[in-house]
Amino acid sequence: MAGRVVKRAFKYRFYPTAVQAEQLARTFGCTRYVYNRALAERSRAWSQEQRRVTYADTSKMLTGWKRDTETEWLAEPSKGPLQEALRQLQGAFEKFWRKQTRYPQFKKKGQSKDSATYYYRGGQIRLAKQAEPLDIRWSRPLPEGVTPSQVTVSRNARGQYHISILVEDTITELEPADRVVGLDAGITSLYTLSTGEKITNPRHERTDRERLAKAQRMLAKKQKGSRNRAKARLKVAKIHGRIADRRRDYLHKLSTRLVRENQVIAIEDLSVRNMVKNRSLSRAISDAGWSEFRSMLEYKADWYGRRVVAVDRFYPSSKTCSVCGEVAGAMPLNVREWACRCGVVHDRDVNAARNILAVGLAVAACGDGVRPPRT
């Protein structure tokens, strides 16, 4: 099969020395300052002068900030992370203009993720202005013959340091498969397949719910600004991190399996942002990770020559008979089985998955729309 050149990021844990940790802390602070100040300047220019500030303008501003006696400390870290912070802000504005995200927000110390992006210069992974190479735990090797283009160093809420190495890798597409599948997202079962298989929902958050609630109660009792509060916050962050790690690992394994086995995967185009407004289901929906799973499916399918088709969220997949096409009346969530006029008794989730597959194949074949007619 033909190979495709794609950009891939390989993430590893590393353990900095005391000197490296101090240098990274200063760099994180500088990049956060540059991002926030550039955002403030762009917002001020538009609100007061109706003038749009470009990336080139903010780059010139950065040069002036380095020469200013009050902010001359911006010249201490490498210029690469500071320039990258301005590029990230430009990207955030472009997404806002395309109505993909909300207006860019200021980064707050302790609440936003600390990160800095460097450009690779060859040799060992040694960051700019640091004499010693990083102590990286190589959990898996980099592909042979690749040259990193940039590296991103980050520190999460748990105090863990990671390095993400971006490379261009050649991926061989999988052999064409003769199987297709439709997926219906759920809570009791994480996903129901059109084949009738139901994927168990591990409910990672519920497993650690008692530990998390206890840690959050202890955090609430600590005095703000105290060392004990910082320790309690770290305990809460570690529990959240363990939950997120288990969820991500489970979704990676499931998405890889589905992409390897099926040529076409049909899913629902769910509006998770609106669904989590339901207070009764918001915790379970957030724990399911539907958006993260869809993202994994899409980029893995793109890598390996598969196709993911999203069916319109308004298509009545649950109450449409997958045998005769009859659309039933109102069907609350507590109805898990229903009988059609044609005499077929449907499992709600399996029927929905089969309808999603049928409509997804129609979309893949001719691009037909799936939104129901409005009355």
Catalytic member of 205, 268, 287, 298: 268
Which residue carries 């793109």 as its tokens? Answer: 302
Beta-carbon count within 10 A of 273 CB = 8
- What span, in angstroms and rounded, lies between the C-alpha atoms of 344 and 340? 5
3-state helix, strand, coil in the chain (%, to 5): 45, 20, 35
For Cα atoms 356, 361, 367, give the angle at the middle one, nearest 5 degrees: 110
Q: Which of 84, 114, 287, 349 is catalytic?
A: 349
Q: In what helix (H) or strand (E) does residue 14 lie, and over which residues does it extend?
A: strand 3-14
From the CA atom positions of the chain, what is the Rg in Å? 25
**β-strand pairing of 264-268 with 150-155:** unpaired
349 has catalytic annotation? yes
Residue 94: closest CA among 42, 37, 151: 42
Are 195 and 179 contacting, i.e. CB atoms less than 8 angstroms apart?
no
Number of helices and strands in the chain (H, E): 10, 12
268 is an active site residue: yes
Burial 41-64 (b: 16+ CB within 10 A, else e): ebeeeeeeeeeebebebbeebbee
Q: Catalytic site residue 368?
A: no
Helix axes 18-49, 55-67, angle to 10 degrees: 120
Would you state the structure tokens that stand for residue 268, as one six-digit string?
């629902």
From 184, 205, 287, 298, active-site residue: 184
φ/ψ region of 154 (left if φ > 0, alpha if ψ in -120 to 50, else beta) reads: beta
Is residue 181 exposed (0-12), middle (13-18) or buried (19+ Cβ within 10 Å)? buried
- The strand pairing partners of 11, in sequence order, are 164
* Helical spans, DSSP H, in the chain: 18-49, 55-67, 79-97, 204-207, 209-221, 227-261, 272-275, 282-288, 290-304, 348-366
Catalytically active residues, by annotation: 184, 268, 349
